[in-house]
Chains A and B, each alone.
Chain A
Amino acid sequence: DAKTTQPPSMDCAEGRAANLPCNHSTISGNEYVYWYRQIHSQGPQYIIHGLKNNETNEMASLIITEDRKSSTLILPHATLRDTAVYYCIVRVTDFGNEKLTFGTGTRLTIIP
């Protein structure tokens, strides 16, 4: 799976949009971008994933650049409960290759 690079930490004011970047310059054509987050002392939680088109769900939006070498996770109206470590993971989704390789992630702190 391709390697990802994320900033170690970020702050965001409550109520503002949190934009979390991820670089994956070695991504392959069949690799998806997944985002998970881990709130303190809990197990990781799936947020969103995409291949090349922008995606949106009830939790977040995912913007993937046209060359697919980077992406941004957007939490549109951050709340204190969004304080967590956010992991960007690049992987294929072939049957038999379901491993998630977690990096160090970005520690997002929402400031009241």
Chain B
Amino acid sequence: DARVTQTPRHKVTEMGQEVTMRCQPILGHNTVFWYRQTMMQGLELLAYFRNRAPLDDSGMPKDRFSAEMPDATLATLKIQPSEPRDSAVYFCASGWLIGGEKRKNEQFFGPGTRLTVL
């Protein structure tokens, strides 16, 4: 049963430290998403990639966040420097998304990385 995997599952760090979260999308999927979930803001899209190329990162704070896909099996989300307001659960999702009426365009979510910045 193919799944999206994320590491680490939990991360506690101090303000100012660099944080890197990793995601392994489902093999063969062409689109990878990063979402963030907080109690106040709910689930919000940060960025997404198709075929490893960034398509939309308008939801991401540009000054401290960066997202990359070094290869088709790895997506990374980096925060430098981290701040307490970055504390959240970060979800990665992947899908085989090609648009069109008859396509499901389903996104498969990973278990998330719970980040706490002290």
Chain A residues with a Cβ under 8 A of chain B: 38, 41-46, 49, 51, 87, 93-104
Any A CB within 8 A of the CB of B101: yes
Q: Is the CB of A43 within 8 A of B109?
A: yes
Across the interface, name the chain A residue whose C-beta is closest to B104.
Answer: A49
Across the interface, name the chain A residue whose C-beta is closest to B99.
Answer: A95
Any A CB within 8 A of the CB of B82: no
Out of B44, B91, B97, B112, which one reaches A98, CB within 8 Å? B97
Report the interface size class on chain B: 20 to 34
Contact residues of A: prevailing secondary structure: loop
Any A CB within 8 A of the CB of B12: no
Q: Output the least CB separation between A104 and chain B (Å).
A: 6
Q: Is the CB of B98 within 8 A of A95?
A: yes
Q: Output the least CB separation between A92 and chain B (Å).
A: 9
- Contacts between chains A and B (CB distance < 8 A), count: 60
Q: Output the least CB separation between A38 and chain B (Å).
A: 8
Out of B4, B99, B111, which one reaches A96, CB within 8 Å? B99
25 A-B residue pairs with Cβ-Cβ distance under 8 Å, sorted by A, are A38-B43, A43-B4, A43-B91, A43-B110, A43-B112, A44-B43, A44-B107, A46-B104, A46-B107, A46-B108, A49-B104, A49-B105, A51-B101, A87-B43, A93-B103, A95-B97, A95-B98, A95-B99, A96-B99, A98-B31, A98-B97, A98-B99, A98-B107, A100-B33, A102-B44
Known contacts A93-B100, A100-B33, then 8 further A-B pairs from the complex at CB < 8 Å, ordered by chain A residue:
A38-B43, A42-B109, A43-B91, A49-B105, A98-B48, A99-B48, A100-B107, A102-B43
Q: Output the least CB separation between A57 and chain B (Å).
A: 10
In the bound complex, what is the Cα–Cα distance between A111 and B16 (angstroms)?
45
